[in-house]
Structure formats: C-alpha cells, structure tokens
Amino acid sequence: MVSVLLLAGCFRPTPCTDDSECGGPGGRCDVSLSFCVTTVEVSDAAVDAGAVVDAGPGDAGIDAGHDAGTDAGEDGGSDAGLDAGPAPTVIANTPITLMKNVPIEVKPGATFSDAMDASTISAFSFTLMQGAQRLDGGVTFNEATNRATFAPAVPLRTNLVYTATITTDARSAGGVALEASHSWTFTTALLALRSAQTYSVLGAAVSNTGPTTLSGDLGVSTAAPITGGATITVGGMTHAGDAAATQARSDALVAYNAAVALTPSMSLATLDGRTLTAGLYTSNGAALSLSTTLTLDGENDPDAVFIIQIDAALDTGATTSNVSLVRGARAENVFWQVSGAVTLGATSTFRGTLLALGAITIGAGTQLNGRALSIDGDVTLASNVVTD
C-alpha cells in the first residue's frame, strides 16, 4: 500500500490551526501549511496500473468547471458573434451626396442596411455641421424603414455647404457598431422663398376675370379685397390680409433682396432667341422684353439654377412669346427679380418665379408655370392657369 497526502477540499482547501477543525477519515491539520490534509491508501497495483486518485468533489468541480467554462466560452462566444450579424452600413442618404440647390427646410436622412438599436440613433450619433458649427436639432428613427431623420431646430441658411454624419455610435439591433462613419455634403439653394413658396399668386391686391386655376395658395398681403375671387379655383389655401399672407410677403421680400445682392456674371441685352445655361444674369438697369422663344438649358443637371436680374420692367409679347425649359431645367429653379412692373402677353407661356416690386399683369389665357409674387403691387389675372 502507498500513502498519498492530499489537501482536503483540493481546489479550496480548508484553513486550520489544529486537527479538530479537519473532519472526516484521515483528516488532520498540517500546521506547516495551515490547511487540512487527508491521507488515503492506494494499492501498489493501482499505482502501477496508473490509477487516478479521486480527490473528492473539489477536483470534480475543477474538471467540471473547466469543461463547462470552456464549452460555454467557445459555444457562447461563437453563437453570440453569429447572432449579432454583420456590421450595418448606410445604404442611402438624403439629400444625395453633393446635391446643390437644396431647400433650406430640408431634413437630412439616412437609411440603414439592417435593423438598428433605436436608442443609439440620436443627436450624438447623427450630426449636422456647417463648417465648424454643429447645428441643434432632433433625431427620429423609423424602425419599419430603418431610416433616421435629422430635423434642424431652425431652417438652414442659403447658399452654404452642410455636412451630415452618422458615426459608429449607431449600432444594430444585435449590438454591432456601424461598419464606418458615413458622411455626406450638400449645398443649400441660392434663393429661399420660405413661406412664399406655397403661393401661386401673392400681391398687395388681386383681381381676376374669367375662370382662373391656381395649383397653390392665393394671398393678399393687405386689407384689399380679392376682386373676381369667385371664379378662381385655388388648389391650396386663400389668405386675404391675414398673418400668413403678411409673412409670405416678408419672406418674398427677403428673397428679392437676396437676389439683388448676388453678383451677376453675365449681361443680357435681349431675351429673344437666346439659349442660356445655368447662371446669374443682369439687364444692367435696362428693361427686357421677350417676343419669341427664350430657351433655358439645364445641361442635364436637375439642380441648375437660373436667376435673371431686371432693374426695370419685363414685358412679353402675346401668343408668340415662350420660355422653354430643356435638358433638365426646372421652373422651380428659375427666378426673375424685377424692380419694375411685369406684363405677360395674352395666350403666351412663361416659366419661373416672378419676384417683382411692382405690379404683375398676366394676359388673358396665358399659362404660367411658376409663381407670380408681387411685393408691393397688384396682381391682375384673366382666365389663367398657374402651376408650380
């Protein structure tokens, strides 16, 4: 027989000062170790045969704990990694990257490739900057579409570059961080009509004869009545001398002054037969007229902006005058800043937003694809169709 000395309890041996503290057969206190020890007898044959001495539940606990821990670590870690899924990405953003002429009321947004943890989509992970200035705003997340939206606390400013960013603080529903921060830039519009943008017609007074159709709002910024209003079909709202009309006039004046302040790069002596690409044009203080066709060429850029400064009157001929838009040019991006009166000839076609200080007269049967906004003058209509 061979005597084998074991620490009682093995993995967590019992501390002691004398034998009375060590119960069980063979138990005694080894004062040199200050722990309980147990002496067991093992046959020589068992030793020769390579038998393993069962040290009791301590060793079993170690073995079981080790195996369980290893299995749990391997299985749990592997399964958790698989369950969390791949890192999410931003698959679309608005406005689109490098977009120009973006309305100042824009709310930038981003769509993710995977379901996201809504608590991580916030003003900390979604930011909007103008240069070094961080803008205040609220962030919302639509779980049904995986889309985040940043709503600026105040409208953006005109003609500036903004940068939106989604950082890696944004995490998927499985807890995986965004693959990489995603940033995009866009440029706001040269001119912003603000509340005046919803108006088809706005003036100090409005008069109409015959059936006229407006796709947007109709507004009178003073207490003057709308003459012939019963034959006007208004697609939006009618504001006659109320706070909304007053604000629209104020916003139109801001846009007018902003247009005046821009520095033109090209001069116009005539509009007849001309083809103009995007840019800022001036009449150099002279009146302008149009009796044939003026072509505005967007050159396949839907954000192409045309601004024509006329520091006098604008007149177009009846029937034959036409403002034609080609290759992506859009009426909403065409602005006519007129310091004098505007007269559009009967049964003609005109496109763009008229921002005039003086009166605007639209001839019988004329179609206007745009807006007629007079800041201080009256607007006269006659069986017209005004669309935005």
Query: Does 129 lie in the same domain as 205?
Result: no
At 14 the pLDDT is 63
Give the chain's length.
Answer: 388
Report the DSSP pairing between strands 133-134 and 137-142: unpaired
Residues in contact with 80: Cβ distance below 8 Å, sequence separation at least 6, in sequence order: none
Q: What is the number of domains present in the chain?
A: 3
Write down which residue in 26, 58, 84 finishes a domain.
Answer: 84
At 34 the pLDDT is 62
Task: Tell me the mean pLDDT per 10 residues along the chain, length 388.
Answer: 44 62 64 57 45 40 41 44 79 95 94 97 97 97 98 94 98 96 96 96 98 98 94 98 97 96 94 97 96 97 94 95 97 97 98 98 98 98 97
- The SS3 assignment for 329 reads coil
Query: Does 246 lie in the same domain as 163?
Result: no
What is the Cα gyration radius of the chain?
A: 40
Query: Does 362 lie in the same domain as 238?
Result: yes
Nearest Cα to 349, choosing from 270, 276, 292? 292
Report the DSSP pairing between strands 35-42 and 27-30: antiparallel
Query: Tokens 């005058």 sit at which residue?
Result: 321
Q: Model pTM?
A: 0.72
Instruction: Provide the sign of the torsion angle of the four alpha carbons 261, 266, 269, 272, taken in this order.
Output: negative
| H/E element, 70 | helix 57-84
Write down which residue in 168, 188, 208 finishes a domain.
Answer: 188
At 85 the pLDDT is 85
Query: Does 112 lie in the same domain as 70?
Result: no
What whole-number distance in Å separates Cα of residue 57 and Cα of residue 99? 72
Query: Does 122 lie in the same domain as 57?
Result: no
Query: Does 177 lie in the same domain as 161?
Result: yes
Q: % helix / strand / coil in the chain, to the nearest 5? A: 20, 40, 40
Query: Does 301 lie in the same domain as 198?
Result: yes
Domain CATH number, residue 170: 2.60.40.1220
Query: Does 309 lie in the same domain as 286?
Result: yes
What whole-number distance in Å separates Cα of residue 79 and Cα of residue 101? 49
- The SS3 assignment for 87 reads coil
Measure Cα distances from 70 to 65, 73, 202, 324 in Å. Answer: 8, 5, 77, 76
Query: Does 33 lie in the same domain as 144?
Result: no
Query: Does 269 lie in the same domain as 176?
Result: no
Instruction: Provide the sign of the torsion angle of the four alpha carbons 42, 43, 46, 48, taken in this order.
Output: positive
Query: Does 68 lie in the same domain as 217?
Result: no
Q: What range defines the domain where residue 198 resides?
A: 194-387
Query: Tokens 């400064």 sit at which residue?
Result: 309
At 87 the pLDDT is 96
Write down which residue in 151, 170, 188 finishes a domain.
Answer: 188
What whole-number distance in Å separates Cα of residue 85 and Cα of residue 82? 6
What whole-number distance in Å separates Cα of residue 318 and Cα of residue 372? 18
Query: Does 113 lie in the same domain as 58?
Result: no
First and final C-alpha spacing in the chain? 106
